Amino acid sequence: MNDIIELNRMEFMILNSLYNANCTNPYHSMTIMDLINDNEGVLGARMTVYRKMQKLTNAGYIKKGCLDNHADTFYLLEKGIKTVEGGKIV
């Protein structure tokens, strides 16, 4: 239980966007701007999302994928997938 962090709504929205876009490997991943656009700007400024991505990466929910031009991309790891699937209403 010690390795579980509390996710806020914004962090779950990021994980959910990656899940819905099937971003599960380095070649199927999204940039920060893709995430902001996918959520119609409600995630806030680019730097805010960047900080959230760092937190999710350090916690093992996501990982950096391949570069898209000069931008980092991100994809879900198993922990992120299980978190989103556990939060879905069936």
Give the CATH number of the domain where residue 39 resides.
1.10.10.10
Q: Which residue in this structure is represented by tokens 């995630």?
A: 43
User: Count of domains in the chain?
Assistant: 1
Is residue 67, in this structure, part of any structural domain at all? yes
Beta bridge partners, 74, equal: 30, 64
Structural domain including 44 reads 9-87
Is residue 73, in this structure, part of any structural domain at all? yes
Contact of 23 with 75, CB cutoff 8 Å: yes
Is residue 2, in this structure, part of any structural domain at all? no
Gap between the Cα atoms of 79 and 59, Å rounded:
9
Is residue 58, in this structure, part of any structural domain at all? yes
From the list 52, 90, 89, 47, the residue with the least C-alpha distance to 74 is 52
Name the pTM for this structure. 0.86
Maximum pairwise Cα distance, the chain: 38
Per-residue pLDDT tens, the chain, 90 aa: give them.
455 558 999 999 999 999 999 999 999 999 999 999 999 989 989 999 999 999 999 999 999 999 999 999 999 999 999 999 986 654
Is residue 36, in this structure, part of any structural domain at all? yes
Is residue 4, in this structure, part of any structural domain at all? no
